[in-house]
Amino acid sequence: MSELSELSELAVAAEKLDAADELAGLRERFVLDDVVYLDGNSLGALPAHVPARVEDVVRRQWGELRIRSWEESGWWTAPERIGDRIAPLVGAAAGQIVVGDSTSVNVFKAVVAAVRMAGDGRDEILVDATTFPTDGYIAESAARLTGCELRPVTPAEVPSALGERTAAVLLNHVDYRTGRLHDLPALTAAVHAAGAYAVWDLCHSAGALPVGLDEHGVDLAVGCTYKYLNGGPGSPAYLYVRRDLQDRFDSPLPGWNSHAEPFGMRSAYAPAPGAVRGRVGTPDILSMLALEAALDVWDGVPVEAVRAKSLALTDFFLRCVGEYVPEGRVESLTPVAHAERGSQVALRCEDAGDVMKRLIERGVVGDFRAPDVLRFGFTPLYVGFADVERAARVLGGILA
Amino acid sequence: MSELSELSELAVAAEKLDAADELAGLRERFVLDDVVYLDGNSLGALPAHVPARVEDVVRRQWGELRIRSWEESGWWTAPERIGDRIAPLVGAAAGQIVVGDSTSVNVFKAVVAAVRMAGDGRDEILVDATTFPTDGYIAESAARLTGCELRPVTPAEVPSALGERTAAVLLNHVDYRTGRLHDLPALTAAVHAAGAYAVWDLCHSAGALPVGLDEHGVDLAVGCTYKYLNGGPGSPAYLYVRRDLQDRFDSPLPGWNSHAEPFGMRSAYAPAPGAVRGRVGTPDILSMLALEAALDVWDGVPVEAVRAKSLALTDFFLRCVGEYVPEGRVESLTPVAHAERGSQVALRCEDAGDVMKRLIERGVVGDFRAPDVLRFGFTPLYVGFADVERAARVLGGILA
């Protein structure tokens, strides 16, 4: 009886929270079913209006207008136009973001460009030792190609590791595994105090919480668009270069799209001014315009409200896990302090791979990260408190 | 009267050629209207079955299966699977091509990897001086990052320019401006005789003529898929690494998709064996699967038949231009010899930009390349001889 009444206590709490949720109506902007989808930090759900927009791009823009669409359908300017749509979500004024390529490729551009900005006297790149692997691999390649040394350190160690040799520091705003939110303002200030350049990876923060790129003076940033921005599988990433650094942005991938006069067909390279300088080759229009359409779901949605709901969701999930999951079966890797928490909860759990399979079978979709982590992402645009309660209850049942 | 009878003579010839064209039926595989579309060397036409396939990817694979599609819909393996679909079109056995990123990014991977294969003693990169600009810009960046010198030479000068310092040579199979087909077998052999590595850009040849990558021992090759392969606007490019060089392919963009164990989330990079090593970040699935669908139009179509028709089309176009266009108004930049001709005809013409505008207004779509070139591409899968006759006739009318 006590368990039953506890169940209903949390279920009642969820109901109240959902009723008071000013963002609850946004769920209707997405295609969802009765699965609890807590994997939007890996692949965002499909916004309901996107299929029709993609169909128009394929049938009319490509099929009927064909080559004319580069001008008439705005294909050519899509990378910077969509960059300007992302800008307010990460606290950037217009004209500083271009969309295109993968996150990995943009990390490469940003880190090499940062090293070049730092100049000859500096030959060390610091990288988050717990980073999503691709950032570390690409930073290592950037170091090798620019004659730098790569030094992996935890974000906490960055202030003491910074020095006269430091050229660039590559950090994650939110750790992909633990969900820990790093202190972007303080770390950026420390990097600047040492005369180095800060490159932030926003993959796990953009669309889930305020980033404040301009406000905090971030130098360069990259991020993907298929997680909290719901751009679709493998949708193109973006690159932010702070306005006053753009003239010094010296790209290691100076493709023709970044030329000052791309259709001049000149043999000598001359970089375009502005964010366009971050472009490389011909943009992948289908993926890019699906992303552009997907960004419509943000119309009228303040990032601050998203952040408030995100914290309420993760708070409630931790509470429900505490109630439903038997003592000692999971350990949260995600910080309790709001200032240190992104929009996911990571639970260390024995047999995590198997547990996640069983969760998915029972309609709760998170993901497994080797070796022992259950990862649950909370997308405030479409996840509600009843979802959260159900996910924790199902997890508790599996682990009982 | 003599002009009228000449008109009908060429029109009759076109009719006969179309009636005898064994590939004529392929036109029905595409969405076309009564425009004469001679810009398939810039953006291929839409294959008729692609919209439904893209819709399935968006609505079902993304919308319903969501994250499960990485396995269940074969998203994760798409780069190498689609590479294997392109392989027979360029004369490559399976397992040597991956699809992803832009052509520019793949040129970067290939040139840096070629320099690394060549080893320390070699510090010069030769590049086609008349190349499409992005190849030159990217080769320059690769040279700068690897401590090499970049030396632009015409393809004809390559044999005499090769030497002990040469690490890599970046060449275009077909010149984007003139339509000249370069001698891939002979130039590759010359590069090898000098102990260097050959990187071929196939953007303007793949899908229009046989390439024979394996047969001619090409080391590395790249190409786009939105021209003669009809993959859609900005569809992902591909990278070929000859099988016996794959273990030595040392990518400057070692993203997590190229790791031997990508989901192991290891901090140390270990490259995957095989073509997968050429991958970088998460593939842009919508664009990639549109390309996969588009490649179905090649079912049962031998590249040799495509080449034969291509040459017949460009021969006939040159003949019609000779008849319809007043003497001295245009000059063909495209070689007369079949062995030196790709699948386009480039005509130097005064006021070419304005002339192309008027052609397009009259339903003949080619493109203009600065400063003075009218460029007409002939896609044998959907361009017929009546189209060719009409294009030349309209051009003649404008220039009369």
DSSP B96: S
| Dist. CA B145–CA A145, nearest whole Å | 5
How distant is the Cα of A150 from the closest Cα of chain B, in angstroms?
Answer: 12
- DSSP E strand stretches across A27-123: 36-37, 97-99
The answer to whether the CB atoms of B70 and A233 lie below 8 A apart is yes
Position A370 confidence tier, pLDDT thresholds 50, 70, 90: confident
Q: Output b/e per residue, A160-193; b: 16+ Cβ within 10 A.
A: ebbeebbbbbbbbbbbbbbbbbbbbeebbebbbe
Lowest mean pLDDT among A194-203, B6-15, B299-308: B6-15
**Candidates 3.90.1150.10, 3.30.420.10, 3.60.15.10, 3.40.50.300; CATH matching A2-30+302-399:** 3.90.1150.10
The answer to whether the CB atoms of A256 and B51 lie below 8 A apart is no
| Dist. CA B126–CA B140, nearest whole Å | 10
Parallel, antiparallel, or unpaired for β A97-99 and A124-128?
Answer: unpaired
Nearest CA in chain A to B65: A45
- Our measurement of the distance from residue A235's CA atom to the centroid of its chain's CA atoms, rounded to an integer in Å, reads 12
| Dist. CA B313–CA B305, nearest whole Å | 12
State ipTM: 0.96
CB-nearest to B255 from A104, A254, A266 is A104
| Dist. CA B252–CA B260, nearest whole Å | 16
Is residue B393 left, alpha or beta, with left meaning phi > 0 and alpha meaning psi from -120 to 50?
alpha
Closest by alpha carbon to A378, among A259, A219, A207? Answer: A207
Tokens of B266: 């290891």
DSSP B28: G
The answer to whether the CB atoms of A259 and B133 lie below 8 A apart is yes
Residue B187, helix vs strand vs coil: helix
Q: Measure the CA angle with vertex A314, ends A308 and A319; round to 5°.
A: 125
Please name the residues in contact with B354: beta carbons below 8 A apart, sequence gap of 6 or more. none
- Contact status, residue A392 vs residue A321, Cβ threshold 8 Å: yes
CATH number, domain B52-298: 3.40.640.10
A353 touching B (Cβ < 8 Å)? no
B286 touching A (Cβ < 8 Å)? yes
**Residues pairing with A197 in the sheet:** A168
Contacts of B69 in chain A (CB under 8 A): 233
Instruction: Identify the burial level of A48 via C-beta atoms within 10 angstroms of its C-beta, where 0-12 means exposed, 13-18 middle and 19 or more buried.
Output: middle
| pLDDT number for residue B69 | 97
Mean pLDDT value of segment B156-173: 98
Residue A109, helix vs strand vs coil: helix
Please name the residues in contact with A136: beta carbons below 8 A apart, sequence gap of 6 or more. A127, A128, A129, A152, B267, B269
Neighbours of A265 (CB within 10 A): 16
User: Is the pLDDT assigned to residue A272 strictly greater than 50?
Assistant: yes
- DSSP E strand stretches across chain B: 36-37, 97-99, 124-128, 149-153, 166-172, 197-201, 220-223, 238-241, 330-332, 344-349, 364-365, 367-369, 373-377
Parallel, antiparallel, or unpaired for β B149-153 and B344-349?
Answer: unpaired
B76 touching A (Cβ < 8 Å)? no
The domain ranges of chain B are 2-30+301-399, 52-298
Q: Active site includes B33? A: no
Nearest CA in chain B to A290: B286
| Dist. CA B97–CA B81, nearest whole Å | 9
Neighbours of B151 (CB within 10 A): 17
Look up residue A88 and give its amino acid.
Answer: P
**Candidates 3.90.1150.10, 1.20.1260.10, 3.20.20.100, 3.30.1280.10; CATH matching B2-30+301-399:** 3.90.1150.10
| pLDDT number for residue A265 | 87
How distant is the Cα of B4 from the closest Cα of chain A, in angstroms?
Answer: 33
| Dist. CA A228–CA A6, nearest whole Å | 32
- Per-residue pLDDT of A12-41, as tens digits, reads 999 999 999 999 999 999 999 999 999 999
Mean pLDDT value of segment B151-173: 97
The answer to whether the CB atoms of B105 and A280 lie below 8 A apart is yes
For chain A positions 160-199, those within 8 Å of chain B (CB to CB) are: 177
How distant is the Cα of A362 from the closest Cα of chain B, in angstroms?
Answer: 14
- Per-residue pLDDT of B109-131, as tens digits, reads 999 999 999 998 999 999 999 99
In a mutagenesis test of the B interface, which of A53, A286, A356 is the best target, namely the one with the most B β-carbons within 10 Å? A286
Q: Active site includes A197? A: no
Nearest CA in chain A to B106: A281
Residue B282 marked ligand-binding: yes
- Per-residue pLDDT of B207-264, as tens digits, reads 999 999 999 999 999 999 999 999 999 999 999 999 999 999 999 999 999 999 999 8
Q: Kindly report the average pLDDT of chain B as a whole number.
A: 96
Please state, in angstroms and as integers, the Cα–Cα distance from residue B344 to each residue in A197, A262, B230, B240, B372, following that order. 48, 22, 16, 24, 16
B252 touching A (Cβ < 8 Å)? yes
- Per-residue pLDDT of A128-166, as tens digits, reads 999 999 999 999 999 999 999 999 999 999 999 999 999
How distant is the Cα of B2 from the closest Cα of chain A, in angstroms?
Answer: 37
The answer to whether the CB atoms of A365 and B264 lie below 8 A apart is no
| pLDDT number for residue B4 | 54
CB-nearest to A254 from B61, B138, B146 is B138
B346 touching A (Cβ < 8 Å)? no
| Dist. CA B400–CA B391, nearest whole Å | 14
A60 touching B (Cβ < 8 Å)? no
| Dist. CA A392–CA A10, nearest whole Å | 10
| pLDDT number for residue A7 | 58
Please tell me the total number of residues recorded for chain A in this structure.
Answer: 400
Contacts of A359 in chain B (CB under 8 A): none
- Give me the residue label for tokens 């990259």: A222
The answer to whether the CB atoms of A103 and B281 lie below 8 A apart is yes
How many alpha carbons fall within 13 Å on the CB side of residue A381?
A: 30
User: Is the pLDDT assigned to residue A105 strictly greater than 80?
Assistant: yes
Q: Is the dihedral of CA A142, A143, A144, A150 positive or negative?
A: negative
Residue A332, helix vs strand vs coil: strand
Tokens of B246: 């794959």
Which helix or strand (DSSP H or E) is residue B83 part of?
A: helix B78-86
Catalytic residue among A201, A219, A367, A387: A201
Position A1 confidence tier, pLDDT thresholds 50, 70, 90: very low
Query: How many interchain CB pairs under 8 A, A with B?
Result: 250
What are the contacts of B8-17 at 24+ separation with CB within 8 A?
A: B10/B319, B10/B320, B10/B323, B10/B324, B10/B389, B10/B392, B10/B393, B11/B386, B11/B389, B13/B316, B13/B385, B13/B389, B14/B316, B14/B384, B14/B385, B14/B386, B14/B388, B14/B389, B15/B385, B15/B386, B17/B312, B17/B316, B17/B385
Provide the edge-to-edge strand list for the sheet that holds B344-349.
B330-332, B344-349, B373-377, B367-369
| pLDDT number for residue B1 | 40
SS (H, E, C) A125-170: EEEECCCCHHHHHHHHHHHHHHCCEEEEECHHHHHHHCCCCEEEEE
